[in-house]
Structure 1
């Protein structure tokens, strides 16, 4: 029972050194892998983040050797890059890897089946509209559950150009 709090100074030193090295390695890999690794999370990015964190903790606690952990970190980030690049190259792969945005409110109407699927209440939608600084529901064109789970409120526009809703299949949603 006494080793729950303290084993010996050698173990403390070992964990301190491996933590510093593991942290620097992860920082280096994240820095060279680009901003995608730090983006707001969609399901795929969440899995990558959990895998990186788990690997880092094993490295810090010296459960796996530093070199093996570094290889795992590198492979996780490389796989993320490969999957992201493949998704960019193929619409089918993109749909497989990434979720699609879901319209949950459109032109004054709550889309009940989409709200149910995404487990969103009318109160949450009203809250997001208020958070966007909008008082009148009539000023809202759409409310969208984005692929990373963020709810976006889109104001009605007076323009005739391309819409930020163009990538959402309105026929399937409504």
Structure 2
């Protein structure tokens, strides 16, 4: 019986903690601002995953109380604030926490060394180009792997409007 159903009190606990935990998390996220759930760098991603894991843990684990779960939320969101505050004020911390965008394709040429470092293959670049509505790379000036893991496509028509600035991109 325990495999499919334990008890009504266990279900009630999950229901109550789920609702109260959800409300707590939404309130904390509203207070902490949009940055908490951004995917600007690896640390932001980790915080988002850890919040979900914490939420799931305290709902289902009978050993973790609501107050302990909410405290976990506060610690994670607080650490995210501390790290983002430090990255603004310290170039050393910024280099540790944040990656740089990488130029993967430029001026009709794949940048193979950059692709190897980024672990991106040609077919992934081509897929991203197609997802942006381009049938081929003929109209693409550059492809950049952004710090959040997304690929940005810069078209030649955009280049003609303004000079392409690749300063700050890891090549």
State the TM-score bracket (shorter-chain normalisation).
0.7 to 0.9
Instruction: Calculate the TM-score normalised by the size of structure 1.
Output: 0.85
TM-score scaled to structure 2, two decimals? 0.87
- Name the counterpart of 2:52: 53
Q: What is the CA–CA distance in structure 1 between the aligned matches of 2:109 and 2:102, rounded to whole Å?
A: 14
Deviates more, 1:145-154 or 1:132-141: 132-141
Tell me by how many angstroms 1:141 deviates.
2.3
Match of 2:166 in 1: 165
Aligned to 2:94, the other structure's residue is in SS state helix
Q: Which residue of 2 aligns with 1:31?
A: 30
Number of matched pairs: 168
Structure 1 partner of 2:129: 129
* Separation in structure 2 between the aligned mates of residue 55 and residue 12 of structure 1, nearest angstrom: 19
1:11 & 1:131 partners in 2: Cα distance? 46
1:66-145 equivalent positions in 2, closer than 5 A? 66-135=66-135, 137-145=137-145
SS at the partner of 1:103?
strand
In the TM superposition, residue 136 of structure 1 has moved relative to its aligned partner by 5.7
Q: Which runs of 5+ in 1 are unaligned?
A: none
State the alpha-carbon separation in 1 of the partners of residues 134 and 29 from structure 2: 38
Q: For the residues of structure 2 that align with 1:88 and 1:67, how far apart are their CA atoms?
A: 32
Moved more, 101-110 or 85-94: 85-94
The RMSD of aligned alpha carbons is: 2.0
Aligned to 1:63: 63
Unaligned runs of 5+ residues in structure 2 are: none
Q: CA deviation at 1:160?
A: 5.0
Decide whether the 8 Å contact of 2:143 with 2:151 is kept in 1: yes
For 1:9, the equivalent position in structure 2 comes to 8
User: Residue deviations 1:67-107, cap 9 Å, x none?
Assistant: 11111110100110111121122232112101211111111
TM-aligned CA deviation for residue 135 of structure 1: 4.7
